[in-house]
Every structure is written in structure tokens, then in C-alpha cells.
């Protein structure tokens, strides 16, 4: 396996006092911060004062973290309705930075930061990089975008806090990315999993993998499967770590995996996680899938109460093998808004990816789901890239592969799909978040 053996990986914990804190101590810290934050937003953010008044909740009703369920939810629609600065809890002259979503239509989802918020963000990313085994001696090649999108700056802030060398490549120009990785001696790289796979394929095609000094990949910003992780690790001989964040809460650095790859540790001293049943908002037990909801316990510029992420995951509060007591969220199953219901069956892109990676034999994990409605029935077509040799062989072999892929997908998804096999690099590659689904039913 490509990963460095655990016995050869030096386990590091940046802040043991926090990351290994007892449950009682963490609850006390969270309670103290929540009580102060609720009072802060009630007094300084009109939006929250109105929301709390509407449901009859006052700051004095919140005695500790156990009362968090009394507070109102916040949604992305609330952020857009208060664009750009309607949710500030401080005067605008205290804001030193703004970041926004990577969306391309409509108003941005804008987040505002004080200097203290930037310091917290930097520290959280540095904790994550430490979890991945990185130190001040490392050189981190960052190919997340550096614009309003939080990816590039978040990793940059964390690398600087760690004392490592940040290589701010941003996205695009894959040949130049690989050249700089080799020339600068990058030991880690950070980008989306889909672009990581693209870089890995390009590095192998260029024959430079053995010349690279990479040992770690920091990959997030989109759901991905364990199978894709193993594929990237195999191609680049690195150890990949899942990182999670969202600009509304802080950006990358809300959670990251440790070397044991058994879920992403959430920095719950700053970001309190809840996993709720989307149907009735009840709390899910550890291990149950639900929607992830965050409350920012110490954010100054734009604090949020119970922000609904729409990300579907489960949580585990048991102590990890690494010694951290921070809870772990599982790899995301998807989002409440990217799940597609096909003839009554819930289908997630990650299920398609897992199924395709299980086929092997010339089938690539590059795909596109297209949903149509024909004669009042939903039809799912999955475009899949396969090795070009199948297009030079006799038609029978291509048909056999098509039937095999269709059978594997039907078993995995529980619904029949149409399969369209296409030549390599037919499906558009993304240097940001990969577009996996086109739903024509609403057009």
C-alpha cells in the first residue's frame, strides 16, 4: 500500500491540552463560550435578536451547551438575505477580511473575519496539518483557489502558523503545478480530491512521480470515497487526509483526519457540532447519519448559531487511537441538496464513485450523472470513462463492459441506470469542485 506504515509515522498533537481534554472539561469550556456568544449575538445582531424573540428565547435561558437545542437555526438563505454585512456582531472597521462561497450564480455567501477570527482559523488549520504529520520543515504546495473561496487562504494561513513553507500556486495550469512541485521539493499538496486524481494521472503520464518528494495530500471541499483515496495514494505514493470546512463557519480547518483515518476530528472548542435527523431535527445517536449543524462558539466578526450545513455524516465521541478526545465525523455520504431521488430511491454521487472503482479493468473513476424525466418517469444516465483500447476492440467487448458496469451500478444504487461509455478525458476535468450531477428535470 502506498501509505507510510503507521509505525514509521510520528504521531503529533499540536495542542494536547485542548485536543485531549476530558469530556467534562470540554463541556464546561463549550458552555462558557456558548453563554457568552448567545448574549453577544442577541445584543449585537438584529437578525438573531428577532429570531430569538420570535420563539420566546432570551440569553438568560441558555445556561450551558445542553440548552443549545433551544436556539434557532441559521440557513444559507438567511446569510444571503442579510448579504453582505447584515450579520456582523462588530463594527465594519473591525473586519480585516471577507471570504465567500465558490458559487457562480446569485449573491455570494459572504463571511467576515476579525483579526482574532483569522488567528483562530490559522491555528485550527495548523492543528490539522500537524495531525497529518507535517512540521515547520515541510513545503506545502497549495492548489486550492486563492480568491474569495476560502481554500487557498485557509491552507496558507495554516502553513504559516505551522512555520512551514507555503507554495501559493492556486488552481490551474497542471503542467506548471507539476513542474513547481518537482523544482521546489514540495512534501505535501492541498487540493480537491478530484483535482488530486487529475494531478496524479498527469504526473504518471509525465513520468515524474519518482522525482517528487510528496508524502502527504490534504484533500477536501467535496465528498469523496475511500476507494478514491486509495487510488490517489497508489498513483502518487502519498498518504491522503480528508479536510473539512465551510466559509460560513471559518473555511478549511473545521475538521481533519489523523493518521488513523477513522473520521475527521472536529475542533469542538471553537465549532460545536450537532448531527440532526433532517426530518424532525432530533439529535442522532453516535453512528447515525444526519445533517451536520455548527455553532461558532468564539467567532467575533460573524458568529452563527446552529448553522445547517446540509452535509450528511455521523459523529463518534469515543477517544481515538491517536489519543485525541475530539469527536470525529465520518466521511460525508453527500448533501441534503445533492441527493437525487430516482424513482423513489435516494442516490448519492459517492455511491456511483464507489461502484465504479470496484469494477476495475479499464473503468476510470471519472463519471457524470445525468437525470432526465421521460414519459413522467425518472431516468438516470451515467457517463463513464473507460480505457481507449475498448474502442479499438470489437463491439462485443465494449457491450460486455457496458453491461457489467450497468449491473454493478444497479446493485449498488438499487435502481436501473443507463450507462454510456466514453473515451478517456471526454468528461470535463475540474480544478475546483467536480461537477458530478446534471439534473434536467427542473429545466
Q: What is the CATH number of the domain that holds 166?
A: 3.40.50.12780
Domain total of the chain: 2
3 pLDDT exceeds 60?
no
Cα separation, 360 vs 364, in Å, equals: 8
- The answer to whether 98 and 136 have CB atoms below 8 angstroms apart is no
- DSSP assignment of 423-435 equals -TT-SPP-SSS--
User: End of a domain among 335, 361, 393?
Assistant: 335
The three grid cell numbers given for residue 142, joined into one nine-digit string: 497549495
6 pLDDT exceeds 70?
no
Phi-psi domain of 402 (left: phi exceeds 0; alpha: psi -120 through 50; beta: other): alpha
149's CB contacts (< 8 A; 6+ apart) are 99, 100, 101, 102, 247, 432
CATH code for position 384: 3.30.300.30
Q: Which residue has the cell 444504487?
A: 413
169 pLDDT exceeds 70?
yes
**Which three-class secondary structure state does DSSP give residue 315?**
strand
145 pLDDT exceeds 90?
no
User: Other C-beta atoms within 10 Å of 4: how many?
Assistant: 15
Residue 270 and residue 216 in one domain: yes
Closest CA to 107 of 89, 90, 84, 130: 84
Residue 317 and residue 365 in one domain: no
Residue 313 and residue 350 in one domain: no
Residue 241 and residue 273 in one domain: yes
Residue 402 and residue 307 in one domain: no
Residue 322 and residue 347 in one domain: no
The three grid cell numbers given for residue 101, joined into one nine-digit string: 462561497
The percent of residues above 90 in pLDDT, for the chain, comes to: 68
Residue 405 and residue 259 in one domain: no
125 pLDDT exceeds 60?
yes
* 218 within domain boundaries: yes
Across the range 141-158, mean pLDDT stands at 93
- Work out the mean pLDDT of the chain and round it to a whole number: 91
User: End of a domain among 272, 305, 335?
Assistant: 335
When pLDDT is cut at 50, 70 and 90, the band that residue 134 belongs to is very high
* 127 within domain boundaries: yes
Which residues on adjacent β-strands are paired with residue 97?
Answer: 113
63 pLDDT exceeds 50?
yes
Cα separation, 11 vs 323, in Å, equals: 10
pLDDT at residue number 307: 98
pLDDT at residue number 84: 94
* 74 within domain boundaries: no
20 pLDDT exceeds 70?
yes
Residue 187 and residue 269 in one domain: yes
Closest CA to 81 of 64, 105, 106: 106
- The answer to whether 406 and 415 have CB atoms below 8 angstroms apart is no
226-270: per-residue pLDDT in tens?
888 999 999 999 999 999 999 999 999 999 999 999 999 999 999
95 pLDDT exceeds 60?
yes
Residue 361 and residue 212 in one domain: no
437 pLDDT exceeds 50?
yes
* 160 within domain boundaries: yes
pLDDT at residue number 365: 78
16 pLDDT exceeds 50?
yes
* 315 within domain boundaries: yes
5 pLDDT exceeds 70?
no
409-422: per-residue pLDDT in tens?
998 888 889 999 99
10 pLDDT exceeds 90?
no
The percent of residues above 70 in pLDDT, for the chain, comes to: 94
- The answer to whether 249 and 154 have CB atoms below 8 angstroms apart is no
pLDDT at residue number 103: 46
Closest CA to 20 of 353, 258, 315, 277: 258
- The answer to whether 14 and 126 have CB atoms below 8 angstroms apart is yes
pLDDT at residue number 106: 57
**Which three-class secondary structure state does DSSP give residue 328?**
strand
2 pLDDT exceeds 70?
no
160 pLDDT exceeds 70?
yes
- The answer to whether 427 and 366 have CB atoms below 8 angstroms apart is yes
175-192: per-residue pLDDT in tens?
999 999 999 999 999 998
pLDDT at residue number 431: 60
1 pLDDT exceeds 60?
no
* 348 within domain boundaries: yes
pLDDT at residue number 248: 93
Residue 145 and residue 181 in one domain: yes
- DSSP assignment of 285-303 equals PTT--EEEEEEESS-SSS-
Structural domain for 188, as ranges = 6-23+110-335
Residue 268 and residue 412 in one domain: no
376-407: per-residue pLDDT in tens?
678 899 999 988 888 777 788 888 899 999 99
* 156 within domain boundaries: yes
100-123: per-residue pLDDT in tens?
874 434 577 899 999 999 999 999
* 80 within domain boundaries: no
User: End of a domain among 335, 354, 383?
Assistant: 335
Across the range 120-139, mean pLDDT stands at 97
Residue 11 and residue 148 in one domain: yes
Amino acid at each position: 500500500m502506498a501509505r507510510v506504515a503507521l509505525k514509521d509515522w510520528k504521531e503529533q498533537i499540536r495542542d494536547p491540552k485542548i485536543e485531549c481534554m476530558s469530556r467534562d472539561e470540554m463541556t464546561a469550556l463549550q458552555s462558557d463560550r456558548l453563554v457568552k456568544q448567545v448574549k453577544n449575538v442577541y445584543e449585537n445582531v438584529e437578525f438573531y435578536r428577532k429570531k430569538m424573540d420570535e420563539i420566546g428565547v432570551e440569553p438568560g435561558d441558555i445556561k450551558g451547551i445542553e440548552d443549545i437545542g433551544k436556539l434557532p437555526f441559521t440557513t444559507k438563505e438567511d446569510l444571503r438575505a442579510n448579504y453582505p454585512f447584515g450579520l456582523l456582531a462588530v463594527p465594519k472597521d473591525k473586519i480585516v477580511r471577507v471570504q465567500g462561497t465558490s458559487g457562480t450564480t446569485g449573491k455570494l455567501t459572504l463571511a467576515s473575519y476579525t483579526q482574532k477570527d483569522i488567528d483562530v482559523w490559522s491555528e485550527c488549520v495548523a492543528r490539522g496539518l500537524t495531525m497529518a504529520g507535517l512540521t515547520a520543515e515541510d513545503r506545502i504546495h497549495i492548489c486550492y483557489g486563492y480568491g474569495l473561496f476560502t481554500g487557498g487562504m485557509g491552507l496558507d494561513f495554516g502553513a504559516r502558523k505551522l512555520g512551514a513553507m507555503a507554495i501559493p500556486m492556486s488552481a490551474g495550469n497542471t503542467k506548471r503545478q507539476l513542474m513547481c512541485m518537482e523544482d521546489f521539493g514540495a512534501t505535501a499538496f492541498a487540493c480537491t480530491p478530484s483535482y488530486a486524481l487529475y494531478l496524479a494521472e498527469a504526473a504518471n503520464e509525465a513520468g515524474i512521480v519518482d522525482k517528487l518528494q510528496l508524502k502527504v495530500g490534504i484533500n477536501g471541499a467535496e465528498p469523496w470515497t475511500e476507494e478514491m483515496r486509495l487510488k490517489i495514494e497508489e498513483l502518487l505514493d502519498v498518504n491522503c487526509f480528508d479536510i473539512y470546512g465551510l466559509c460560513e463557519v471559518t473555511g478549511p480547518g473545521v475538521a481533519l483526519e489523523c493518521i488513523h483515518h477513522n473520521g475527521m476530528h472536529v475542533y469542538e472548542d471553537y465549532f460545536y457540532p450537532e448531527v440532526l435527523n433532517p426530518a424532525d431535527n432530533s439529535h442522532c445517536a453516535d453512528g447515525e447519519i444526519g445533517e451536520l449543524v455548527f455553532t461558532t462558539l468564539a467567532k467575533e466578526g460573524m458568529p452563527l448559531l446552529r448553522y445547517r450545513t446540509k452535509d450528511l455524516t455521523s459523529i463518534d465521541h469515543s477517544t481515538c487511537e491517536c489519543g485525541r478526545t475530539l469527536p470525529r465525523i465520518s466521511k460525508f455520504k453527500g448533501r441534503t441538496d445533492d441527493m437525487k431521488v430516482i424513482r423513489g430511491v435516494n442516490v448519492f454521487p459517492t455511491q456511483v464513485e464507489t461502484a465504479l472503482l470496484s469494477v476495475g479493468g479499464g473503468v476510470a473513476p471519472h463519471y457524470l450523472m445525468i437525470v432526465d424525466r421521460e414519459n413522467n418517469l425518472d431516468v438516470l444516465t451515467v457517463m463513464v470513462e473507460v480505457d481507449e483500447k475498448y474502442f479499438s476492440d470489437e463491439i462485443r467487448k465494449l457491450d460486455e463492459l457496458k453491461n457489467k458496469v450497468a449491473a454493478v451500478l444497479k446493485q449498488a444504487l438499487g435502481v436501473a441506470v443507463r450507462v454510456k461509455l466514453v473515451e478517456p478525458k471526454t468528461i470535463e476535468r475540474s480544478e475546483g469542485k467536480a461537477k458530478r450531477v446534471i439534473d434536467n428535470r427542473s429545466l
